[in-house]
Chains A and B, each alone.
Chain A
Amino acid sequence: MPIHIANRLVAAAGRIILGKEHAVRLALACVLARGHLLIEDIPGVGKTTLAHVLARLLGLQFQRIQFTSDMLPADIVGVSVFDQRDGAFRFHPGPVFSQLVLADEINRATPKAQSALLEAMEERQISAEGRTWPLPEPFFVIATQNPSDQIGTFALPESQLDRFLMRISLGYPDRAAERALLAGEDRRELLAQLPAVLQPGELETLFAAARQVHAGPRILDYVQALLAHSREASGFSLGLSPRAGLALLAAARAWALLAGRDHVLPEDIQAVLPAVAGHRLRPAGDAPQPADTLTRRLIEAVALP
């Protein structure tokens, strides 16, 4: 039963990442909707741990790429090396050839290196030396970035932000969670002991189940109303694209599945909207506004149909 699997996933993740159930659920929903995830937060709040946990839970091959400012595209996608014995170039796949890639601190790399990864995310294949190399299936990128007002970073442009299904942030743990964290065992050890929750093939079942979650006409009306409002109302300089609408629906389906339902509710849309739309909306005017404020305003402006 997909619903039981989903519950097991949430529970297992919650044992390692304390007090962050909502963010963990969003991350899981993002994966079940087959989207890439961007985690934006200050260092040290557990971004990397979250990526590790997801990989372990879902039983995926895991590779971590630490982005640095001197990084080259070849460091990500791989390099062709001349083989003396064969007398020919041979392609050595880079770390991107993995089911789950953690792109740590993606905004530290130059735009050139960033775009190498982002192209891989979009195409789900690598083109090198006139040949294409398919990436493993499934293929997820979890990128983390420090908030872009820190020194020595290259913020991702809007077109590339759009490739991430969700952008979430973790934030500080609350008091009780932090206490448990401090008092408890080392997270690394816990992680090492964490068994894979999913059997081989179960992930595909979950993907299929997420796609089949029912989204009735009222839900589609609601999504359209939200999209229309973001485009027409003053207060947004950039409305939501059709792709954002698809992303919203796919994420809400996965969210509903995690909640154990076979149909999407407006609550599901509202739950994923900040993560899905937050990095796609731009406020009108010059004053920067927190993404949460923008999405909150969007939700509260559109009545349920």
Chain B
Amino acid sequence: MTEPRLRRDQSGWLLASTTLTLAPHAEHLPLALGALCALLLLWRGILAHTGRALPHRLLLLALAAGIVAIVQIEFKHLFGKDPGIALLAGLLSLKLLETDSVRDGRAVVLLSFFMQLGQFLYQQNMAIAALALLGSVAAIASLLALQGSVTAPRLRAGAATRLVLQGVPLMLVLFVLFPRVQGPLWGLPADAYSSVTGLSNSMAPGDMARLSESSEIAFRAAFEGDLPPPAERYWRGPVLSRFDGHTWRPGRTHATDAPAYRSQGIAHSYTLTLEPHNQSWLLALDFPGSVPGLIYTDNFQLLSREPVRSRQRLTLVSYPHTPVGLDESPNILRQALDLPAGFNPRTRELGARLHAEANGADDIVTRTIAHFRNSRLRYTLDPAPLGRDDVDSFLFDTQQGFCEHFSAAFVVTLRAAGVPARVVTGYQGGEFNPVDGTLVIRQSDAHAWTEVWLAGQGWVRIDPTAASAPLRIQNGLAAAMPDSAHLPLLARTDLAWLRDLRNRLDALDNSWNQWVLGYNPARQKALLAALGFAEPDWQVLTALMGAASAIVMGLLTIWALRRRSSADAIDRSWTRFCRRLKTIGYERATWEGPLDFAERLARQRPDLADTVRRIASDYARLRYGPADADPALGQRFHQSIKNFRPR
């Protein structure tokens, strides 16, 4: 017997669920393949609409070969995440073109479910989760359509939604209790190390400006108590003290388990949520107190033991007024004075002049700042190109630059004047999100400043950018730029509603990150400890999961049973009546009406005739009559069935 052909509504649902499944993949599919998938789906849609026959197998085979060829050309191979997903997307679209039976339809639904999981290999944000949920509803509706008869699409979608909603409690149980593994849940090994936007451990002219074009979130900070003022929001990253005339790189550092300074003064307590950046530095305010398990370098960087490859939460206390490096080692000071020979002669000359004119290191710094301010240097995102001697051409020729130019020039000048100085990179500022009270720091907040060592004061932070563009420090990048058109849309401040919307989305995203994606083994353990399971191993978790699932299923079953109203009580009693008769050899045919059944019985068992006739006519009245039946009739019916014990 041949398989039944697909009805039009069935092909419609399959097409809808496949389209919903594949649409989010369009973002990372090769353009040619995405277009081909869209064409194939469109083609199938037209065929379903016109009721014409599906294309010949040979044509499909050729198309399949074409898809494999596109993947091979785009990715150079067929294995791994990206080529695999691309191949599956193409073949799923193609599968639909040969799907004309219910059995094939089920295969399409199965593959759709798999492709919905595939989305999470790329992104795990809320939008993707919502899309996957929507896709699941469509896929379940397709399964229902394959199973049942024709129904209005609205009813079918409603039924599928109900099914998905009924699955939610079980999903929560599995989410909370399924034994967790360390590391990102969805990452494949290859992605965790791939390049991400963020600070690097070197700085050359243009690097920071490039970074500032990205509105990606670098990290979030939730403060306990008041926020520090904007001018103190320096999130300290890599410290760069070696300069080769063009690029700044970190110097040699020494790492210890505890900070080399004694924290003092006022304190800010905050929780960082770092987005993965594949580096080990953590971005703390100056200067964090001791936290076990972290690494403190002798240039006062805070490092984690492992690169940050998944979103990480960290609670820190910073003491901004702590003096650091009061008795700095000569090695480090020597490094902080080092200048490559043969570069930037004019700046060195400036340094020498300042050294000669000034009275001590403090005065040199003051005079340098004054010089910078008086030079009318322009703060801009796209400065004019620089010559071989970057610092010289910035300070004396083009006179326009971004923070990396300012900080580099400042350090070179001071070093030339004999004052130890170094570049510090990190982030400055951040935007307060009033919705959830967190400070959001984006890549566009990346910044470079300097530290100067002064005897008796240790390392002192000086931001030369602030001298020329004080607004940058007070109000952020957008405020400091005369023309905000070059800025990423989301960093602009002139669109109030946009900012408000972004704040809300960010807050939502943050909770999602914290509670869904950030639900790691530690959090699971903490939650279970709160529930009274001190050291849950996987056996305990599995047992808990089984028990909770059973409870959820039990509750759902009870709910479903209770939904059967008193109308069903009538059916239940009738079924019991029929069952009792069946055990003594009188079975009701499925099509047999109650009165006919009673008459047949009355002929075969005259002794039961009266009872059976009365029960059957009561049932007929209760079941098929108008709903205004006397309640006494129902009671009589139930009672007589309870007492009905035929032999």
Binding site for B on A (CB under 8 A): 214, 216, 218-219, 228, 262-267, 270, 299-304
Besides A302-B591, A303-B590, A304-B590, 5 more A-B contacts (Cβ < 8 Å) are A218-B624, A264-B624, A266-B591, A266-B624, A270-B591
Bound together, the chains give a CA A263 to CA B621 distance in angstroms of 8
Chain A residues positioned under 8 Å from B595 (CB to CB) = 265, 267
Least CB separation from B150: chain A residue: A228
Q: Does B118 contact A (CB under 8 A)?
A: no
The smallest beta-carbon distance between B596 and chain A, in angstroms, is: 5
Which of B593, B620, B627 has the largest number of chain A CB atoms within 10 A? Answer: B593
The smallest beta-carbon distance between A235 and chain B, in angstroms, is: 14
10 interchain pairs, CB-CB under 8 A: A214-B626, A218-B624, A263-B624, A263-B626, A264-B624, A266-B593, A267-B595, A270-B591, A300-B591, A304-B591
Bound together, the chains give a CA A218 to CA B626 distance in angstroms of 11
Q: Does B3 contact A (CB under 8 A)?
A: no
The smallest beta-carbon distance between A296 and chain B, in angstroms, is: 10
Interface of chain B, helix or strand or loop or mixed?
loop
Bound together, the chains give a CA A300 to CA B591 distance in angstroms of 6
The smallest beta-carbon distance between A218 and chain B, in angstroms, is: 6
Residue contact B625 to A304, C-beta cutoff 8 Å? no
Least CB separation from A266: chain B residue: B593
Partner of A304, one of B149, B592, B621, B627: B592
The smallest beta-carbon distance between A2 and chain B, in angstroms, is: 16
Bound together, the chains give a CA A84 to CA B582 distance in angstroms of 81
Q: Does B492 contact A (CB under 8 A)?
A: no
8 A Cβ contacts from B612-646 to A: 620-621, 623-627
Closest 3 CB pairs of A and B: A303-B590, A267-B593, A266-B593
Chain B residues positioned under 8 Å from A299 (CB to CB) = 591
Contact string, B572-615, partner A, CB cutoff 8 A, digits 1/0? 00000000000000000111111110000000000000000000
Q: From known contacts A300-B589, A300-B591, infer whether A267 and B596 are also in contact, taking CB-CB under 8 Å.
A: yes
Partner of B625, one of A263, A270, A300: A263
Number of interface residues of B (CB under 8 A): 16
Chain A residues positioned under 8 Å from B593 (CB to CB) = 265-267, 270, 304
Bound together, the chains give a CA A260 to CA B591 distance in angstroms of 23
The smallest beta-carbon distance between A232 and chain B, in angstroms, is: 9
Residue contact A216 to B590, C-beta cutoff 8 Å? no
The smallest beta-carbon distance between B603 and chain A, in angstroms, is: 15
Least CB separation from B595: chain A residue: A267
Chain B residues positioned under 8 Å from A228 (CB to CB) = 149
The smallest beta-carbon distance between A260 and chain B, in angstroms, is: 11
Least CB separation from B592: chain A residue: A304
Bound together, the chains give a CA A212 to CA B627 distance in angstroms of 14
The smallest beta-carbon distance between B549 and chain A, in angstroms, is: 33
Bound together, the chains give a CA A67 to CA B37 distance in angstroms of 68
Least CB separation from B627: chain A residue: A216
Bound together, the chains give a CA A299 to CA B621 distance in angstroms of 22
Least CB separation from B621: chain A residue: A263
Least CB separation from A269: chain B residue: B593
Residue contact B590 to A219, C-beta cutoff 8 Å? no
Q: From known contacts A228-B149, A267-B596, infer whether A216 and B591 are also in contact, taking CB-CB under 8 Å.
A: no
Residue contact B624 to A265, C-beta cutoff 8 Å? yes
Chain B residues positioned under 8 Å from A219 (CB to CB) = 624
The smallest beta-carbon distance between B591 and chain A, in angstroms, is: 5
Residue contact A214 to B625, C-beta cutoff 8 Å? yes
Bound together, the chains give a CA A111 to CA B642 distance in angstroms of 62
Chain A residues positioned under 8 Å from B625 (CB to CB) = 214, 216, 262-263
Chain A residues positioned under 8 Å from B620 (CB to CB) = 265
Which of B149, B591, B592, B594 has the largest number of chain A CB atoms within 10 A? Answer: B591
Contact string, B201-216, partner A, CB cutoff 8 A, digits 1/0? 0000000000000000
Residue contact A218 to B589, C-beta cutoff 8 Å? no
Bound together, the chains give a CA A267 to CA B620 distance in angstroms of 10
Chain B residues positioned under 8 Å from A262 (CB to CB) = 625-626
Bound together, the chains give a CA A218 to CA B592 distance in angstroms of 14
The smallest beta-carbon distance between B94 and chain A, in angstroms, is: 31
Q: From known contacts A299-B591, A300-B591, infer whether A216 and B624 are also in contact, taking CB-CB under 8 Å.
A: yes
The smallest beta-carbon distance between B590 and chain A, in angstroms, is: 4
Contact string, B535-548, partner A, CB cutoff 8 A, digits 1/0? 00000000000000
Residue contact A303 to B591, C-beta cutoff 8 Å? yes
